[in-house]
Amino acid sequence: MTFLNVDVAAGVATVVIDRPPANAVNPELIDEFLTVLPGLARDPAVRCLVLTGVGRFFIAGADIAVMRDLSLDNHVRMRRWIEVQRLLELAPKPVVAAINGHALGGGAELSLACDLRIAAASAGFGFPEMQLGLFPGAGGSQRLPRLLGLHKAKLLMIEGRRLTAVEALELGLLDEVVPDEDFPAVVAERARDLAAKPTATIGLLKTSMLAGAPLDIEGAMAVEWEAVQQVIASDDAAEGLQSFLDKRKPTFQGR
Q: Is residue 7 scored above 80 in pLDDT?
A: yes
Q: Which of 28, 89, 109, 224 is catalytic?
A: 109
Q: Is residue 62 scored above 90 in pLDDT?
A: no
Q: Which residues of 175-209 are buried (b: 16+ CB within 10 A; e: fewer)?
A: eebbeeeebeebbbebbeebbbbbbbbbbbbbbbe
Active site residue 170: no
Q: Is residue 201 scored above 90 in pLDDT?
A: yes
Q: Is residue 68 scored above 90 in pLDDT?
A: no
Q: Which of 28, 32, 89, 129 is catalytic?
A: 129
Q: Considering the entire predicted model, what is its pTM?
A: 0.91
Which residues, at least 6 apart from 132, have a Cβ–Cβ distance to it below 8 Å? 64, 67
Mean pLDDT of the chain: 94
Q: What mean pLDDT comes out for the span 104-111?
A: 96
Q: What is the pLDDT of residue 192?
A: 96
Q: What mean pLDDT comes out for the span 232-238?
A: 92
Q: Is residue 1 scored above 80 in pLDDT?
A: no
Q: Is residue 74 scored above 90 in pLDDT?
A: no
Dist CA 157 CA 201 (whole Å):
35
Active site residue 89: no
Q: What mean pLDDT comes out for the span 211-219?
A: 94
